[in-house]
Chain A
Amino acid sequence: MYKLYLRGILLLAAFSLVTSCAKTPERVISPSVKASVVQGEEKSWSIFFTGGIKNENDSTAFINIEGNILLVNDSGEKIASVPFKIPAILPFETGVIKEKIDIKGETAEKVFSMLSISPDKLGTPDEPGNRFLEDKNVKLDSIKFEKKDIVKLLGEKVK
């Protein structure tokens, strides 16, 4: 029984050690989009997505970040995906995502419905196409990166 308790405590300690090592980003901060008409193409639009990925660690830098963001409507249906790449996010910094995707057909209809944008009015002074997105409409679907100790990383730059 004593050994069981000891194992439990050791497992808990190991788990908390691993989880406290480096926090992984779980959400996109300040997401927004700007929709615009693709010139020369009928019924085709582009969505310029901006947002941020925050590195909350004090000593771990994220390098070569690659991921995918999903735009979902209020009922939770996935309507578009935004793949992104960021070269590096240093500790306490926010990596900025600026990605453009092209949409057409049913996807465009769903996106415009979610954003409450009338595609016919897009580009006019009444409808510039800018929208801030709510957290429920943006999901960080996947993210992968290399973790690097900031002291080692800066040490390589100073050499």
Chain B
Amino acid sequence: MEKINDSNLYKVFIIVPLVIALFTGGVSLYSKISVEPAAAKLISSAETMKQGYVLLREPQLFAGYRYWDSDGTAVKNTIRYFDFMIFSGGEIKEEEKVYLELLLDRRKSGSMLGLKTAMFMLIISAMGGAALYLENRKNITE
């Protein structure tokens, strides 16, 4: 019986999850390192709250404003309120900062989900690598 070489299959199992991990991890890390601190700084001051909101209005990849989970209704109402206010030329009040923090928390949870997804994909990729290593060793010994 002809021996089946699974090397190519293992290579796919290494490369595809690795590419997904690099993409989701990269996007999420960028959010963690760059966007979230900048947004937190902007919403901490009354003068820059509007800029902070505009920055947060662009959703994180894993925390879009299109799909609604159980906590999402508050976020939806928040963006409706602030969209209208800024479009109409209004100002965000100091006491409304808590709603901006709600958006920041959603972004943070989205980037954390992205990082966890990247980690999961890296584990699959590593498992593919281990399987490929074992396959190659088996081929050499035979």
Query: Are A and B genuine complex partners?
Result: yes
* A154 adjacent to B86 (CB under 8 Å): yes
* B64 adjacent to A58 (CB under 8 Å): yes
User: A90-B83, A93-B84 given as contacts; is B50 within 8 A of A158 (CB)?
Assistant: yes
User: A58-B66, A59-B65, A92-B76 given as contacts; is B83 within 8 A of A158 (CB)?
Assistant: no
A155 to B51, CA, bound (A): 8
Q: Is A153 an interface residue (CB 8 A)?
A: yes
A40 to B130, CA, bound (A): 91
Q: Is A88 an interface residue (CB 8 A)?
A: yes
**In the complex, what residue of chain A is closest to B64 when comparing beta carbons?**
A58
B59-94 CB mask vs A (1 if < 8 Å, else 0) is 100001110000000001001100110110100000
Minimum C-beta distance from B18 to chain A (A)? 23
Total B residues in contact with A, Cβ cutoff 8 Å: 18
Q: Is B57 an interface residue (CB 8 A)?
A: yes
Minimum C-beta distance from B55 to chain A (A)? 9
* B87 adjacent to A151 (CB under 8 Å): no
User: A155-B54, A158-B51 given as contacts; is B80 within 8 A of A93 (CB)?
Assistant: yes
Q: Is A91 an interface residue (CB 8 A)?
A: yes
Residues of B within 8 A of A58 (CB): 59, 64-66
A153 to B54, CA, bound (A): 10
Residues of B within 8 A of A61 (CB): 83, 87
Question: In residues 38-55 of chain B, which contact A (Cβ within 8 Å)?
Answer: 50-51, 53-54
User: A58-B66, A90-B87, A92-B79 given as contacts; is B57 within 8 A of A150 (CB)?
Assistant: yes
**In the complex, what residue of chain A is closest to B66 when comparing beta carbons?**
A58
* B57 adjacent to A154 (CB under 8 Å): yes
Residues of A within 8 A of B79 (CB): 91-92
Q: Is B58 an interface residue (CB 8 A)?
A: yes
**In the complex, what residue of chain A is closest to B90 when comparing beta carbons?**
A157
CB < 8 Å neighbour of A151 from B50, B58, B66, B84: B58
Residues of B within 8 A of A150 (CB): 57, 83
Residues of A within 8 A of B59 (CB): 58-59
Residues of A within 8 A of B (CB): 58-59, 61, 88, 90-93, 150-151, 153-155, 157-158
A-B contact pairs, 14 of them (CB 8 A): A59-B66, A90-B80, A90-B84, A91-B65, A91-B83, A92-B76, A92-B79, A93-B84, A150-B83, A151-B58, A153-B87, A154-B57, A154-B87, A158-B50
